[in-house]
Structure formats: structure tokens, C-alpha cells
Structure 1
């Protein structure tokens, strides 16, 4: 699908961007454009990919529509990763989050339509489902904009992919815990009952590609992801460190945080089909030509919601997941 194609990745210098670009290169694309506002990260990424001639780095901000339109000339696919992602930052600076996560997403939509891009893939988050913080709210608004774009007079198709936490991304709890073990001899967790969805970055990108290939446009593909208790994750990392007398203390929940995340809300479950062993698909409440007919052979799910407190991994399973991700 990506052979000899031109691909734009917004926010492409983050952890997702590195792995996405690495895997995209295996498809032999014509060009990959990495669009971000971080000059230092672009310089580092260019070096790490040995100045690959297929990679073209563009300094720009998704808040600037004209810059996006220029970057989208001749583009076939857009992977929209750029966002303000940290919950506390978005709580403290909601207007900045709005400008990037909502207005910026609309700019991506407008630029894609103007430039006749084939497909736009929007990477969303479990925090967009029944949001309790501004980050989740802004990503939920982005989802709605992406879905609605499929009703416009354009051949460009837009699809959302919603996942949970990905192991090892920037600011990941794994990096935080490992640093605390080495430097402080203790780990701070927000709440001993807290649970989260987790997936390795490599697996997450494979699921992104699958949804890219198989989506029609207008639906939300929801990754099925293993869940674990954060306290158990801490215990496994402590055990793997071979350090003794590591204390665990409770910090308390930060503003906007949930004890358990949901990838699929009670409201959304009423319009969600069981697609396969790797995905649920949420169908939109608005009419998009041919979409419900396309999924008519699938059964609606028999779930109230998809909650991170259910079917938790054992410590041995967490250990295997961390080994697979090369974190221990």
C-alpha cells in the first residue's frame, strides 16, 4: 500500500514517529516527510536514520495551516501524531492544548482535502473515551472532527485509531520507574489500585497499519490491549533491577487522572462491532455513506464498556511483555 507513496507524519520525532518511520521504510515509499516543530529532535532523528534520502524533515507547527498545506503537496497518506499529550500540561494550559489538539487537527483535515491526500490516519487515546481531563477532551474533539470530515465533498478518507499506553514512549511510566529505582531507591505511584492498558510500540504500529489498510473511513478502530496494575508493574521492574530495599510510596492521583482507563465507553458500546481478535470498531452516530452497510455482517459487542480493570496480566505476563519490549 505504501510502495512508491509520499507520506507525511505530523509530530514524527516522538517515540511513535521513530517506530512508524522505521516500519514505513520497509514498504519502500517514495518519500516520508517528518513534520514537527522540534529542531533538536529532527537533527537527532536524521542522524539515527543515517540521513536516509527518503526522509525529508520539515520544521513546522500544525497550528499554522499554510505550513501544513505546503507540506502536504503531493502527499498520499498522513499519519497525524502531533499533539500535546501530557495530562498535567494540558490541565495547566488548556488553551494551548485546544490550539494544538483541536485547531491543529482541523488544519490537518483542511490541508489534506486541499491537497487531495488519499487517507488521513489520526492516532487517538483511551483518554478520549468518556474524558475526565482536558487532554482526553481535546483528543475526543479531534476524533469528532476526523469522523465528520468523511461527510465533506472530498475523496480523502479519514480514520481514527484509539489505543492505550504504549511501552517506552516519551514520559512512559517504565522510564520513570527505572530512573527512580536507580537514582532514588524508591518508586512513587499515584494509587495502588490504578490500572492501565499497555502494548509494545512495535505491536501498536502493526495494528495502526492494519487499520490503515482495512478501514473505510469514519470509524474508530479500538485496539484490544492487555491490562495491568501499575503496582504489579513496579514490582516486576524492582525484581528485574536486582536492587534490594526499594520502597514504594503513594503520591495520590493527579488532577484529571482516572484509577481505571476505558478504551470504549458505555455509550460507544451501543454502536461498536467485534471486528476481529485485535480490534473493535466504533461506528459513528452520524451518517457516512456506505459505512454501516460495510460492517452490517459483524455482530455488535456484548460489553458495557472496555475497562482496564478487567483481565489483568499476572506478574509473569508483565515480565514477558517487558522482555519483548526490551525493557528488562
Structure 2
């Protein structure tokens, strides 16, 4: 699918982008264009990949449609990763989140159609399901724009992939906890009841590719992900540090935070099919030609919602996951 193709990655210098590019290179693409705002991150990534001639770095912002259209000339596939992702930042600066996560996504859609791109893959988040914060709201709007783009007069296909937290990404709770253990001898947790979905970045990209290959456009692929208590992650990291008398401090929930995250809301479950062992697929509420027929053979999901409070990992399973991810 990617051999000898030109692939465009927005926000490609982040943790998802690094692993995505690493795995994309194994498919022997003609070119991978990495589009992001951060010059320093691009320079570091270029060095990390030994100045691989397949990689082409472009400084740009998805808020600038003309820059995007120019950068997308000749592109076959777009992976749209760029977003403002931190919940408190989006709560404090909602206009910036709107411009990047919503207007920026529409700019990606317009650039893709302008360049006759084959497929656009939008990376979404569990926070877009029944959103309680501005980040989730903006990503949910991005999902709707991506799905709606399949009704436009274009050959380009648009699909969403929705996942939970990926271990070790920028600002990840793993890095925060490890730093707090080393520097402060205490760990701050917003609420001891809090649970989240987690996956290693390697596994997340493998699932992302599967959805990319098998999607037809107009659907939301929902990754099935293990969930765990945040306090259990903290305790496993404390035990692995071999430090004693590490205190756990309860900080209180921040604005817009949930105790448990949803990957599939009660409303969405009425339009969702059980695709396989790794994915649910949410079908669009709007009419997109051929999609309901394509998924007619799959059974509807037999659950009201899919949230992070059920099927929790044990501490031993969390430890194995953290070892696999290289964090302990």
C-alpha cells in the first residue's frame, strides 16, 4: 500500500510521529514528508534517523491552509496527527485549540482534496467520546469534519482511528511520575479512583496501520485497549525505582477531567459493529454511500458503552506493559 508512495504526516515530530515514521520506512515509501511547527524537534528527528533521504521535513502550521496545500502536492496518503493535546492548555486557550484542532483539520481536508490524496487517516482520542473538556470537544468536531468529508465530490477517502493514552508520549503520566519519584520523593494523583486506557506506541501504530489498510472511508475505528488505575501505575513505578518512603498525594480533578474515559459512548454504541478482536467500528450517522452495506456482515456491539473502569489490568500486567515499553 505504501511502497513507492508519498506519505504526509502532520505533527510528525511527536512520539506517535517517530514510531509511525519508523514503521512506515519498512514499507519502502518513495517519500515521507514530516510537517510540523517545531524546528528543534525536526532537527533532532533528522539526526535520529541518520538524515534518511526518504524523510523530508517541512516547517509549517496546519492553521495555514495555503502552506498545507503547497506541501501536499503529489501526496498519496496523509496521517493527521497534529493537534493541541493537553487538556489544561485547551481549557485555558480554547480559541487556539479551536483553530488548530478544528479549523486545522478542515484545512487538511481541503489540502487533501486539492491534491487528490488517496486516503486521509485522522488520529483521534477517547476524549472525543461524550466529551467533557474542550480538547475532547475539538477532537470530536474534527472527527465529524473527517467523516463528513466522505460526502464531498472527491475520490479521497477519510477515516478516523480513535485510541486512548499511548505510553511515554510527550507529557505522559509515566514521565511525570518518574520525574516526581526522582526529584520530589512523592507522586501527585488527581483522584485515586481514576482509570485510563493505555497502549504502547509500537502496538498503537500496528493497529493504526491495520485500520488504514482495511477502512473504506467514513467510519471510526475504535482500538480495543487495556485499562488500568492510575494509582496502580504510580505504585508499580515506585516499586521499580527501589526508593523508599515515596508519598502519594491526592491533588483533585482538574477542569474537564473524567474519573473514567470512554472509547465508545452509549449513543455511539447504537451505530457500532464488532469488527474483530482488536477493533470496534462506529458507522456514520450521516448517509455515506456503500458503508452500511460493507459492514452489514458484522454483528452490532453487545454493550452500552466501553469505558476504562472495566477489565482493569493487574499490577503484574501493568509491570509487563511498562517493561515492554522500556519504562522500567
TM-score normalised by the chain length of structure 1:
1.00
Residue 22 of structure 2 corresponds to: 22
Distance 2:323 2:44 in 1: 26
Distance 2:34 2:295 in 1: 34
Superposed displacement of residue 76, structure 1: 0.2
1:305 equivalenced with 2:305 (yes/no): yes
Superposed displacement of residue 25, structure 1: 0.3
What are the Cα deviations for residues 119-176 of structure 1, in whole angstroms up to 9, with x where unaligned?
0000000000000000000000000000000000100000000000000000000000
Distance 1:307 1:149 in 2: 28
Residue 184 of structure 1 corresponds to: 184
Residue 4 of structure 1 corresponds to: 4
1:201 equivalenced with 2:195 (yes/no): no
Structure 2 counterpart SS, 1:137:
helix
Superposed displacement of residue 49, structure 1: 0.5
Residue 314 of structure 2 corresponds to: 314
Distance 2:85 2:234 in 1: 23
Residue 276 of structure 1 corresponds to: 276
Residue 155 of structure 1 corresponds to: 155
Matches within 5 A, 1:1-328: 1-328=1-328
Superposed displacement of residue 110, structure 1: 0.3
Greater than 3 Å deviation, 4+ residue runs: none
Distance 1:34 1:114 in 2: 19
Superposed displacement of residue 96, structure 1: 0.3
Structure 2 counterpart SS, 1:27:
coil
What are the Cα deviations for residues 174-217 of structure 1, in whole angstroms up to 9, with x where unaligned?
00000000001000000000000000000000000000000010
Superposed displacement of residue 314, structure 1: 0.4
Superposed displacement of residue 6, structure 1: 0.2
What are the Cα deviations for residues 207-260 of structure 1, in whole angstroms up to 9, with x where unaligned?
000000000100000000000000011000000001111000100000000000
Distance 2:156 2:291 in 1: 15
Q: How many residues align?
A: 328
Distance 2:41 2:13 in 1: 6
Superposed displacement of residue 89, structure 1: 0.2
What are the Cα deviations for residues 5-52 of structure 1, in whole angstroms up to 9, with x where unaligned?
000000000000000000000000000000001011001110111100
Distance 1:228 1:91 in 2: 25
What are the Cα deviations for residues 283-307 of structure 1, in whole angstroms up to 9, with x where unaligned?
0000100000000000000101001
Distance 2:294 2:305 in 1: 23
TM-score normalised by the chain length of structure 2:
1.00
Superposed displacement of residue 59, structure 1: 0.4
Distance 1:82 1:254 in 2: 24
RMSD (Å), alpha carbons:
0.3
Distance 1:181 1:192 in 2: 17
Structure 2 counterpart SS, 1:300:
coil
Distance 1:157 1:197 in 2: 28
Structure 1 counterpart SS, 2:286:
coil
